[in-house]
Amino acid sequence: MSPGTGAALRLLAATVDAKAVAEIGTGTGVSGIHLLRGMRPDGVLTTVDPEPEHQQFARQAFRACGFASNRARFIPGRALDVLPRLADAGYDLVFCDGDRLESLEYLAESLRLLRPGGLVVFEGVFANGRTVDSGPQPTEVIRIRELLRAVRESQDLVPSLLPVGDGLLCAVKR
């Protein structure tokens, strides 16, 4: 994750005064650290990843940055298995950095999870410039294009595409 993307995540979390954030794709914890830095001091990050070793690494990274263990809830598993168990309208921000092939499903779950005025953010929507290339594209790029179209056409969202890192697609739920 680029420094600009991290700074944007921190800003977005602070902008919505985030107390509850859901993250799809824990990874090594870099995005989680930026989100936690922007959240309220009493905020909790719920992070989902199919790889328990990623979550263990992230847990250590959060601790090394001085975050109390109660600031993050780690849920191992596939996002589409875990997200339906999370509370409706219980989140201020949903950050999606998981399987690009499941982006449209993440969007649907995010709309259910977000409170009105909440924010959904997708990372990597430029796909290293491939989303604007002509010619045949891999399924991942086709799915990102479908996501961009769905967000743009949704009456429930106010979208913006931030040109930081590999692209952040942000949308506020009406």
Neighbours of 121 (CB within 10 A): 25
Read off the DSSP letter of residue 160: E
Report pLDDT for 24: 98
DSSP 38-55: HS-TT-EEEEEES-HHHH
| Each residue's pLDDT expressed in tens, for the chain with a length of 174 residues | 899 999 999 999 999 999 999 999 999 999 999 999 999 999 999 999 999 999 999 999 999 999 999 999 999 999 999 999 999 999 999 999 999 999 999 999 999 999 999 999 999 999 887 776 677 788 988 999 999 999 999 999 999 999 999 999 999 999
The pTM of the full predicted model, rounded to 2 decimals, is 0.95
CATH topology classification for 3-173: Rossmann fold (3.40.50)
β-pairing verdict for 91-96 and 20-24:
parallel
As a whole number of angstroms, the distance between CA 10 and CA 154 comes to 25
Instruction: Report which secondary-structure segment, H or E, holds 85.
Output: none
